[in-house]
A and B are shown apart, each in its own frame.
Chain A
């Protein structure tokens, strides 16, 4: 078993510790000083499934809750520059120049978190460097979101009215046609089996007309009623009362990276020392010089002394040396 790797490690142990001694404090300092203080403003918004008219075709995922659908909508809105800039303007952020726009987009998008908390509740939070900024942007986010949802609901209702109007007209035509056919037939014949069928057609057309009329009336009622909403802010954006708790993961990031770097450097240094250190230390090293005998070894006196012989012997040695010098 060659001793060289162990001997090199033991001899240069302090040098191999240097990367740890240097890097780890720097990493710890970076972890502390680069960690910015942040504030978070939180709001809760109640949402309903859209559209309100169940029979109308919709782009929503019917297998998700209203909160999940609206949270997805808001995430998509934020991905668009138009919505994000609208939020920025609502928050009073400057958006005149290109750098200002970029900064505003970054400020709105960075730190915004949208989560569906239940079937109807959407959590919207925004984290920023100051409490005021966090609340202002969150206010703007909620306002922009609710406006967007209301606008979409309104469009949905308009589409519903148009749809049911067409259905009503179509049903009316069918009813008129069925009634006309029934009257003509009654005039021409007294009792006939076809009379039952024609009467049934008239009744069916009448039912369809009634349904379409009712849906149309409902839709119109929703449009004309200002209290009907698919989105409602339950908890307005909060004013942060203190900075956020620092995340342990981000606090550990620098030290862990520093540790890895120190280990890598130390391992590299060790490899280099192992490769370049070719000094003779133990008898085994002399095998590189074939035919050369080891006559003996003389221990390093200073090291032996350090190992801690009793003080008594030091005193004896010093006395002995002194008496010799006096001769």
Chain B
């Protein structure tokens, strides 16, 4: 009896692992419990559906994910949207890391970070070897490469614009993990290479004024909207119940 129970438990774990491993393994700070992660995945699927055109005639589309300042979770949100988009659309999604000063995605995906966008723009490597498959189905990563102190000339170069055209020809969906709008002078340049911009705001961290300035800095790039990251129930649920306030008003 005890042995049967252990076996069932082991099989449960296996089932859970197969189901949730891809996302649990990849998304930054999301080594979570399965039920919690179910909520996260559902949210990202909704976000991806709202910021990407899911019609088959949409063609190649690119979305830049940025934030006002650092530490607002734009890389994690980029991964989440890429993963959800790959599931929603069922086609290849390229995750392009353009924060050349502080690259993180290769490490998040446990992939080789020695060559990437910076090296390609500096003509040190070819494009094909640096685009790496991730363990997430249909999700590809073009990492930033080694940290670059002065990425301005690289990102403003014609080669970057040519690269974007090339990538649009290959990948139906490109998610660009862009640097913060207010702390990086090149963020607007990168955003201009995308068809639209999604701003990430960390709940309780991002100020209204910063978000407004970030939107202003984005210039003419159409802004799809805001992803509010790190939300929580700011008011205890029982108080919200007493006040007759919806859960969504407090989260």
**Chain A residues packing against B (C-beta within 8 Å):** 1, 3, 6-7, 10-11, 278-286, 288-289, 292-305, 309, 313-321, 323-325, 327
Contact = CB atoms under 8 A, between A and B. Distances in A.
22 contacts: A3-B234, A3-B245, A7-B235, A280-B204, A280-B207, A282-B251, A288-B208, A289-B208, A292-B223, A292-B226, A296-B46, A297-B227, A297-B251, A298-B228, A301-B29, A301-B32, A304-B32, A305-B32, A316-B13, A316-B33, A321-B25, A323-B17
A293 B30 CA distance: 25
Contacts of A292: 199, 211, 215, 223, 225-226
B35 interface: yes
B223 A296 contact: no
Contacts of B33: 305, 309, 313-314, 316-317
Interface string B66-84: 0000000100110010000
Contacts of A286: 226, 228
B41 to A, nearest CB: 10
B40 interface: yes
A118 B46 CA distance: 89
B205 A279 contact: yes
A279 B31 contact: no
A295 B63 CA distance: 13
Nearest to A293: B225
Interface string B206-217: 111101100100
Interface residues of B, number: 66
Q: Enumerate the 3 nearest inter-chain pairs by beta-carbon distance, A residue then B residue, closest first.
A: A293-B225, A313-B33, A324-B25
Nearest to A320: B17
Contacts of B201: 280
B199 to A, nearest CB: 8
Interface string B26-44: 0001111111110110011
A37 to B, nearest CB: 47
Interface in B195-251: 198-199, 201, 203-209, 211-212, 215, 223-236, 239, 243, 245, 248-251
A324 B24 contact: yes
Given A1-B245, A293-B225, A298-B80, A327 B47 contact: no
A10 B231 CA distance: 14
B21 interface: yes
B135 interface: yes
B77 A298 contact: yes
Nearest to B214: A289
A298 B227 contact: yes
A293 B73 CA distance: 18
B73 A279 contact: no
Contact of B232 (A288, A299, A321): A299
Nearest to B25: A324
B165 interface: no
Contacts of B209: 278
A281 B234 contact: yes
B102 interface: no
Contact of A297 (B43, B76, B205): B43
B47 A282 contact: no
Given A282-B234, A298-B73, A301-B36, A289 B225 contact: no
B231 A282 contact: yes
Given A292-B223, A321-B25, A299 B17 contact: no
A283 B248 contact: yes
A280 B208 contact: yes
Contacts of A321: 21, 24-25, 31
Given A1-B243, A301-B30, A320-B17, A296 B43 contact: yes
Nearest to B45: A296
Contact of A283 (B51, B135, B228): B228
Max chain A C-beta neighbours (<10 A), residue from B77, B201, B243, B245 = B201
A14 to B, nearest CB: 14
A305 B30 CA distance: 10
